[in-house]
Amino acid sequence: MSDDPGEPILSVRSLAVRLGGRPVLHDVDLTVRTGELVGLIGPNGAGKTTVLRSVLALVPPHSGDVTLEGGRPAQRRGTVGYVPQRHEFAWDFPTSVEQAVMTGRVHRIGWLRPPGRTDREAVHQALERVGMADLRRRPVGELSGGQRQRVLVARALALRPRLLLLDEPFTGLDVPTQELLTALFGQLREEGNALLMTTHDLPAAAALCTRLCLLNRTVVADGPPGELRDPAVWLRAFGVTRSDQLLHSLGVTR
């Protein structure tokens, strides 16, 4: 795929969010374009998941704007795939892999309406992409951690979204699943989709992402990994004054 900037899919401008009266985000500016895989990087409590929830219209902005393909998030939720952290899904619910993935198309199907041929095809294709088609009838409660993560990714892909939001997709995964998802996310980017991913795996993010957005309640820095070489930027983003371990893991020297 060309390195030229693609079409803007997500635009966040001067976003501020308060939760329980407490400021969580302020002055956040972020754009994600087609063909980009943007890593949203920062310490715990930096507001990374809140940014994703704002894009999904699950958290109202105190001020600022979020637009998806030029429209409001509440009007575009049916075009955004979301992969939450694994603990957010009810794995003890008595449902099969196929049925769980089908729930990703609820916004397209409508509540209490049966899925049609297009829905079944979308689910099958999503399961094929994550290597889970042969386990489609297995109860989700019997899956391993890596298999569960694949189900969540398939559920998001079943919507056939242009924008994919990934909240810590690599946490606690076995190596084969990490490799499968790394390859899949790269393929989705090459196909012209836009991806926004939060992660604590900084070396992996630097290797996989086309851009990194360093967040600590506001955007500290934003650019291609190879251009974010200033140690001060990383130390400020993670709220520390000295962290040789952090800089070493990134290959950044003082």
Q: pLDDT by residue for the chain (254 residues), tens digit each? A: 445 668 999 999 999 999 988 999 999 999 999 999 999 999 999 999 999 999 999 999 999 999 998 888 777 777 799 999 988 888 988 999 999 999 998 877 766 778 889 999 999 999 999 999 999 999 999 999 999 999 999 999 999 999 999 999 999 899 999 999 999 999 999 999 999 999 988 888 988 999 999 999 999 999 999 898 888 888 888 887 766 676 666 666 65
In contact, 133 and 98? CB cutoff 8 Å: no
CA 15 to chain centre: 18
Question: According to the model, what pLDDT value does residue 151 have?
Answer: 96
- pTM score above 0.85: yes
Domain boundaries, the chain: 8-87+162-250
Q: Kindly report, residue by residue over 217-245, the tens digit of the pLDDT.
A: 999 999 999 898 888 888 888 887 766 67
- Which of 178, 176, 183 has its CA nearest to residue 168? 178
Superfamily of domain 8-87+162-250: P-loop containing nucleotide triphosphate hydrolases (3.40.50.300)
- Mean of all residue pLDDT scores within the chain: 90
> What percent helix, strand, coil does the chain show, rounded to 5?
40, 25, 35
In contact, 10 and 80? CB cutoff 8 Å: no
In contact, 30 and 55? CB cutoff 8 Å: no
